[in-house]
Amino acid sequence: MTADRTQPEAGSARLDEEQDAYRDALAERLAGFLDDQSAAMARISDDVAPLMGAITGLVTGGKRLRALLCYWGWRGAGGRQLGAEAVQAGAALELFQAAALIHDDIIDRSDIRRGGPSVHRRFGTLHRERGWALDEERFGTAAAILTGDLCLSFSEEAFTAIGPAAAAGTSARRIFNTMRAEVMAGQYLDILEEVAGPSRSRSEAVNAAANVIRYKSAKYSTEHPLGIGGALAGADESLLAAYSRFSLPLGEAFQLRDDVLGVFGDPQTTGKPAGDDLREGKRTVLVAFALERATSEGAALLERSLGQQELGDDDVERLRDVISSSGALDATENLIDGLSERAFEALDALRLPDDIRGALRSLGLSAVQRAA
Amino acid sequence: MTADRTQPEAGSARLDEEQDAYRDALAERLAGFLDDQSAAMARISDDVAPLMGAITGLVTGGKRLRALLCYWGWRGAGGRQLGAEAVQAGAALELFQAAALIHDDIIDRSDIRRGGPSVHRRFGTLHRERGWALDEERFGTAAAILTGDLCLSFSEEAFTAIGPAAAAGTSARRIFNTMRAEVMAGQYLDILEEVAGPSRSRSEAVNAAANVIRYKSAKYSTEHPLGIGGALAGADESLLAAYSRFSLPLGEAFQLRDDVLGVFGDPQTTGKPAGDDLREGKRTVLVAFALERATSEGAALLERSLGQQELGDDDVERLRDVISSSGALDATENLIDGLSERAFEALDALRLPDDIRGALRSLGLSAVQRAA
């Protein structure tokens, strides 16, 4: 008998406690790591403090999805409660995510991140407030490129500090390497679709968008963090493959949810301006479905509007109408449901202690049902 | 008795041969590493091939200064001829340098690198040739940010693949981590000087520029590569400190030579447009000396012109006159001489086999006497 998947399981209070304790240990580890790095930076010059401030700001917030998946992957493979390796790996994943966000926000010209200014905007503001010479925007971008590079280095430094379980030649290291290369390749495919998409046929668009999702997001946000946790605890290839059967469709559903929120989300909840994905010209699965299914006028309007920075709220509203009335929103929601179903079925089939399965289920549900 | 430092030493033919064999092994290692990565990328999508092409292009050329210093640091600390660790570390350093150049060229708006287009320009050209939508320049920048990130990850992957000698907690790993953080901090101080320099007093400018040189360049181009090689072969702290007494002043002289070439170099030889550093507004030691020593009209002209992209050849010529006639060029050349003198004295004092000392001397001389 399959349990009701929307309900928490027995023993979940104890697990919530364990998860909270992990979050605390993770926050402490990140703070300790960044304190040490800030002290080293201060020996170079006090002027570099804003780089550390930007990184610290980014890793202080967030849903911790990747670190938590890593933790439960570790526990599911027999790792001990609050094991240092899993805490350290979580810190590395959070730093990697921060690095990716910093560069992503430059690439996508996003001014807002989690309700506050993105890193390039923070540096732009610093430039203006100090009355510095030359161009504010260029300085902001340059400083954010360097901050992202620094954060990417920190992520790897934190990962290596795990020690022997993540040394050269281990599965955990192999997954970490694959994760980094795939997310960068996936991000490139994403920006490539923005510029090359208009000249491709509409029937290719959904497949192209699905490939972007897999590499840019699903493998990196869910599959690899879970796998790294498992590998650190000694999971064999068969357990890692079973983890992937759960986490890969989950990650795809997670990113599709993100794409829906990027067009239909409430700015108050998402912390990002409404319709930002449309202004940036993101050719998501949602948009690809709409191009395929809308009336020819609707599709033409959408095609013309994608990537236009100056779209106003009214334009965004009109595009939302095109997308919903074409059936693209329903098609995307159906896809999310189907992928979630597959993910949770695979989770049921995983040979795991019930309480750990329950923790992964709650985490999975929060990833695909979220509003922010 | 001190040998004539401008002359090659006895036994140098054998050393040249060993150095050539190392260069070959390094090129082969880099090619093998990048072939493996390209194969992995091709499994994601053929569309990501241009990222690999850009990285391969960058690591195929270059002077190999960092890898060679690493190699002789390794040999000087007792490492065996053509040891795999030193070849692998050289590959990691060359990849790191390529990553730094890719992002540096975005930040400095450099269109040319080693006589060919820089990476963001390559992607801009690809965009134009394919007739893609939206903005060519933005696509070029975004793609180059991602290519640099990928290359930075590769650098670390290559470094970790050294194995136990570079594992968590080793001296080699500590130096590698420090190198990355310092160069990013140094680069930030460099762009900060461009914008904040004009509002600081001229008497501070030389010191600020010297600090930039130390972190952006000297530690990363010479001190840390030599130290990493030594540490991999088991050098103790005292040998590493003795290495630094040679390599740090050498690296400062190396960067001062770069700054002189950035204003006075022959574009045919440097592969970069004449006066590019002036257009970018780099506040180098050379420029700081000129601001301090020029006539008030000369200093005002220089201050007004720094960072102006539209400077023509005539303008650059006039600025060169201001810089030379102020005595700033001579002062910089004197500084290069003094630092070189200190470096080579420290090299003489190093307890090393004569032939290895000779190899380090040739390498050092080529770094400070070069025209490109």
Dihedral angle at the C-alpha atoms of A338, A19, A160, A249, nearest 10 degrees?
A: 0
Task: Tell me the average pLDDT across B266-273.
Answer: 81
Nearest to B103 among A51, A145, A160 (CB): A145
Flag if B153 and A148 touch (Cβ within 8 Å): no
CA–CA min distance B107, chain A (Å): 5
* ipTM for this prediction: 0.94
Quickly tell me which residue has 């909840």 as its tokens. A269
With CA atoms as reference, report the closest residue to B118 among B308, B281, B271, B279.
Answer: B271
Distances (CA, A) of B10 to B4, B353, B355, B358: 12, 12, 8, 8
Q: How close is the nearest chain A Cα to the Cα of B165, in Å?
A: 11
Per-residue model confidence (pLDDT) at position B200: 82
Q: What is the DSSP letter of B218?
A: I
User: Chains A and B: how many Cβ contacts under 8 Å?
Assistant: 184
Cα separation, B357 vs B290, in Å, equals: 36
Does residue B338 contact residue B44 with C-beta atoms inside 8 Å?
Answer: no
pLDDT band at residue B266 using 50, 70 and 90 as cut-offs: confident
B-chain residue closest to A157, CA distance: B177
In this prediction, residues B227-239 reach a mean pLDDT of 98
> CA-nearest residue of chain B to A199?
B132
| Confidence (pLDDT) at B62 | 81
What is the reported pLDDT for B83?
98
Distance CA B3, CA B30 (A): 37
pLDDT at residue A4 in the model: 46
Reported as half-sphere exposure (CB side, CA atoms, 13 A), residue B335 has a value of 21
In the prediction, which pLDDT does A11 show? 57
Classify domain A12-369 by CATH architecture. Answer: Orthogonal Bundle (1.10)
Q: Is B41 in Cβ contact with A195 (below 8 Å)?
A: no
Report the DSSP beta bridge partners of residue A116.
Answer: A113
In this prediction, residue B188 has a pLDDT band, given cuts at 50, 70 and 90, of very high
pLDDT of residue B2 exceeding 60: no
Residue B11 binned pLDDT confidence (cut-offs 50, 70, 90)? low
Mean pLDDT of B43-57: 96
Who among A143, A149, A186 is closest to B152 (CB)?
Answer: A149
Helices A224-232 and A84-107: angle between axes, nearest 10 degrees: 160
Q: How far is B33 from chain A (nearest CA, A)?
A: 13
pLDDT at position B115: 79
Compute the distance between CA of residue A127 and CA of residue A146 in angstroms, rounded to an integer.
Answer: 16
Q: What is the pLDDT of residues B83-96, one digit of tens each?
A: 999 999 999 999 99
- Alpha-carbon distance of A125 to B258, in angstroms, equals 32
Interface test with B, best of A38, A120, A160 (most B CBs within 10 A): A160
In this complex, which of A145, A168, A185 lies closest to B106 when CB atoms are compared? A145
CB contact under 8 A, A156 and B153: yes
Task: pLDDT tens for chain A, 372 residues: list them.
Answer: 344 444 545 457 888 999 999 999 999 999 999 999 999 999 999 999 999 999 999 999 788 999 999 999 999 999 999 999 999 999 999 999 999 999 999 999 999 888 789 999 999 999 999 999 999 999 999 999 999 999 999 999 999 999 999 999 999 999 999 999 999 999 999 999 999 988 888 778 888 899 999 999 999 999 999 999 999 999 999 999 999 999 999 999 999 999 999 999 988 888 778 788 899 899 999 999 999 999 999 999 999 999 998 999 999 999 999 999 999 999 999 999 999 999 999 999 999 999 999 999 999 999 988 877
SS3 content of chain B, % helix, strand, coil (to 5): 80, 0, 20
Indicate the residue of A131, A142, A211 with minimum beta-carbon distance to B191.
A142
Rounded alpha-carbon distances, angstroms, from residue A269 to A98, A250, A255, A272, A346: 20, 22, 17, 8, 31
Of residues A4 and B299, more confidently modeled: B299
Give the DSSP H/E element, type plus range, for residue A117: strand A116-117
User: Beta strands B116-117 and A112-113: pairing type?
Assistant: unpaired
Q: How many angstroms away from the CA of B8 is the closest CA of chain A?
A: 37
